[in-house]
Amino acid sequence: MPKARRRSTHSSERFEDMALPEELIGVLADQGLQRAFEIQSAILPDALAGRDVLARAETGSGKTLAFTLAMTSRFRGRKVHRKRPLGVVLVPTRELAVQVVDTIHPYARAVGIKAQLVAGGMNIEKQADAVARGVEIIVATPGRLIDLAERGALQLDLVESTVIDEADHMADLGFLPDVADILAAIPMGTQKMLFSATLDGQVEDLVDTFLVDPVSHETVPVAAAVTTMDHHVLAIEPSAKRAVTAWLGAREGRTLMFTRTQLGAERVAQELVEVGVRAAALHGNKQQGLRTNVLAGFRQGAYPVLVATDVAARGLHIDDVSMVVHVDPSADVKEYVHRSGRTARAGAAGTVVTLALPHQTRSTRRIVEEAEVEATWAEVAEAEDPALEQLGARAPSGEPAEDPAQVKYKGAPRKLDIKRTRGADARRAEERRANEERRASWEEDEEPPRGGKGRGRQGQGARGQGSRSQGARGRSGGKSAGGRASTGKGGARGRSGAPSRSPRKRGKP
């Protein structure tokens, strides 16, 4: 990697003292924003000057607003061209794309330009028509952008500013080869801004190939992002897990729960609904319109608990999430940081709770130590334990609640059909409970003895679980074990220099 110029951290500045147009200052004031966060103060001068930027910042630090202000300032008053945007923002998931374009819209309107969402799982014809009419900024997932380019609905020869957001998550999902193809179709020497929690492996290759003398900014080490939160680990028995989860879900405030698998997210959400806690599931196997609807309802405060897989752990900003619950413990410290980062955002307070079964306590202790946080540990045998009371947990009503997944919220697609979705099912819930009781009894019977041989068996079991977890992620997120990014000089290009796919397997965003 070429040596990037390092800048010292910046103190917080007032937006009105920066080189921003009056229109943007007005929108910031309307939103109650007067002072820039550290990463915004650091990035904006270089971004406004058109320099390449390489940034690492803590989760929830405000980087989306930083590149939003930079791009809308640079494109203010510019002439729009059909099919030829001036700015491109690449993100790994549709949910993050929706969030980013929602952030950009008010600032874009203020300076008289347009931003367009280009993401898979949505009507491609409508997206193609919007781009054909002319937009200054597109926010896209890599696969859908290439789809539009291959059909001639989009050209990248006039792009002046490109943002690659959550680059490390792109690498995890196997999207960096597509990102490399897109960057190869954009004129070299134009501005590139790359944001990533880590700068190694394929991300480093991308920086080496496409960024020119980048100015590097790092506000806080990644692991330090979770030090402002209260961390708790509840060592629970398998028989108590469902009840403990329900009591935590019934607390006051907005709660985000994480599970390892898609089926786990659906199961936990349905079990919460059955005992009186309004909760909905969010994962990659849910139809895009339903995912948008679920997120819209949670953001509006229509229901208090969202149960998600890691598709929601990276980049999404949801206001006022006061607690994150790791129903299934994180697989590594990186996952722990990004899951936990959904609370205590932008300096707010937050609590992180991990539910660890007996065979998960050792790995959970290691992850917490690597995250460099001080966690409060408690052994919990039942939901009425005082440790839960201190966290604000309370008993749910026990009466089935209205299923939030069966309600249409403002901001959902107009033609969304929620009648065909499946809500809570009492019969299936009983079957799950019976299966869990059997599994709990098996785990008790098969618990290995202490000592070297027992630890070996336990380690093998953990590795087996890790393999299944990776398989689940691969199915839901298209994770690829493929090689390094395609970074040839010419790259893969289609008509008029537009990107096209290399002949390889890739996950769908």
Ordered structural domains, the chain, with CATH:
5-220 (3.40.50.300), 226-428 (3.40.50.300)
Which of 140-149, 302-311, 331-340 is least confident? 331-340
Average pLDDT score over residue span 379-393: 92
Average pLDDT score over residue span 449-455: 46
Which of 223-237, 301-315, 429-443 is least confident? 429-443
Q: What is the pLDDT of residue 356?
A: 96
Q: Is 367 helix (H, G, I), strand (E, B) or coil?
A: helix
Residues with Cβ within 8 Å of 371's Cβ and at least 6 positions away in sequence, in order, are 223, 226, 333, 336, 337
pLDDT surpassing 70 at residue 175: yes
Rounded Cα distance, 114 and 135, in Å: 5
Q: What is the pLDDT of residue 506?
A: 47
pLDDT band at 71 (very low <50, low <70, confident <90, very high): very high
Q: What is the pLDDT of residue 277?
A: 96
DSSP track, 458-476:
HHHHHHHHHHHHHHHHHHH
Average pLDDT score over residue span 463-475: 41
pLDDT band at 478 (very low <50, low <70, confident <90, very high): very low
Q: In what order do the strands lie in the sheet with 254-258?
A: 279-282, 305-308, 254-258, 321-326, 351-356, 230-236, 375-380
Bigger pLDDT: 5 or 15?
15
pLDDT surpassing 90 at residue 415: no
DSSP secondary structure letter of residue 10:
P
Q: Report pLDDT digits (tens) over 8-37.
A: 444 558 898 888 999 999 999 999 888 888
Average pLDDT score over residue span 485-498: 51
Rounded Cα distance, 228 and 230, in Å: 7
pLDDT surpassing 80 at residue 313: no
Average pLDDT score over residue span 469-481: 41
Rounded Cα distance, 440 and 203, in Å: 42
pLDDT above 70: percentage of residues in the chain: 76
pLDDT surpassing 60 at residue 7: no
Bigger pLDDT: 495 or 378?
378
Average pLDDT score over residue span 293-312: 89
Rounded Cα distance, 491 and 408, in Å: 44
pLDDT band at 455 (very low <50, low <70, confident <90, very high): very low
pLDDT surpassing 60 at residue 488: no
pLDDT surpassing 60 at residue 104: yes
Mean of the per-residue pLDDT values of the chain:
81
Q: What is the pLDDT of residue 13?
A: 81
Q: What is the pLDDT of residue 410?
A: 84
Q: Report pLDDT digits (tens) over 250-293.
A: 999 999 999 999 899 999 999 999 999 999 999 878 887 888 88
Q: What is the pLDDT of residue 428?
A: 62
Q: Is 375 helix (H, G, I), strand (E, B) or coil?
A: strand
Enter the pTM of the model. Answer: 0.68
- Do residues 76 and 69 make contact, with C-beta atoms less than 8 angstroms apart? no
Which of 68-72, 388-392, 438-442 is least confident? 438-442
Q: What is the pLDDT of residue 422?
A: 57
Average pLDDT score over residue span 448-453: 48
